[in-house]
Structure 1
């Protein structure tokens, strides 16, 4: 690319980036942890991915402005609760500001650690915090899985796509 082409290329703004990423379907999870005082904290996350098989690593992105940022980046462990279609209300509640996200129940302490988990989530992954990496306006929290639990297997996964919650349906044909 020439210097002239580089200078005339349209700038990718935050809104342009957001619009493009709205077309990238992502599974929806609620990430939970305990703060230093033992209070439950959690948020809806669309940026949870497996990173490595050897060693096994999972990554969850948390915005620097999130009310859960301090907890997630200092907690020794966290739980990724992968949501199914029946959890739309939880995804909305855990994405809302200034609400009691755990109101209404459904969460229980993970036996042996106390970290909150959603027993009927499609998948639960308890992770030991391994590393935090700053990436723009987020911190990437890497965790080593220490235990898996499977919940409701018959449920369709909850996805974030085009700025809304959707479910994936198996197509046979």
Structure 2
């Protein structure tokens, strides 16, 4: 039996934002390059595994992001998992109107121009599988191409609008 889906929102945007602040999430920096070789990246907490066969993951990107066009048109992207050492980096990649890569430790994924965080907790190279509209965001579905197990550390989490690490 299917339950009807409401046609009006159940919660206002600010209530939804407050509720989601109670859901801990791993912090990542998602990176790509455009056709002209420019590097793009943003801090994301909306990253989840979707499928094992084929291996897919999902990243949400806001329509208002300065990176939006670069990511929805990119053939590949990298999800860099952050750890406790990356708090300043997470802040830098959440800022608007700045060169987010300036002074940061990014290398190139071997054989590509894709930026990868040299000391990431882990990094996932993805091929664009699909881009799906979802409200004021687009969902990037990436087919997992390669994984780099990174430097050991304590994962960096976002919870109640601030950084946390598991104990």
- TM-score where L is the length of structure 2: 0.93
Ranges of 4+ aligned residues in structure 1 off by more than 3 Å: none
* Alignment partners' CA distance in 1, 2:154 and 2:102: 24
Structure of greater Rg: 1
- TM-score where L is the length of structure 1: 0.90
Which structure 2 residue ranges, 5 or more long, are not aligned? 1-5
Residue equivalent to 1:163: 161
Matched, 1:141 2:140: yes
Shift of 1:105: 2.5
Report the 3-state secondary structure (helix = DSSP H, G, I; strand = E; otherwise coil) of the residue aligned with 2:71.
helix
* Alignment partners' CA distance in 2, 1:150 and 1:47: 20
Which structure 1 residue ranges, 5 or more long, are not aligned? 1-5
Equivalent positions of 1:54-73 (< 5 A) are: 54-73=53-72
Report the 3-state secondary structure (helix = DSSP H, G, I; strand = E; otherwise coil) of the residue aligned with 1:51.
strand
Over the aligned positions, Cα root-mean-square deviation in angstroms equals 1.3
Residue equivalent to 2:104: 105
Q: Alignment length, in residue pairs?
A: 160
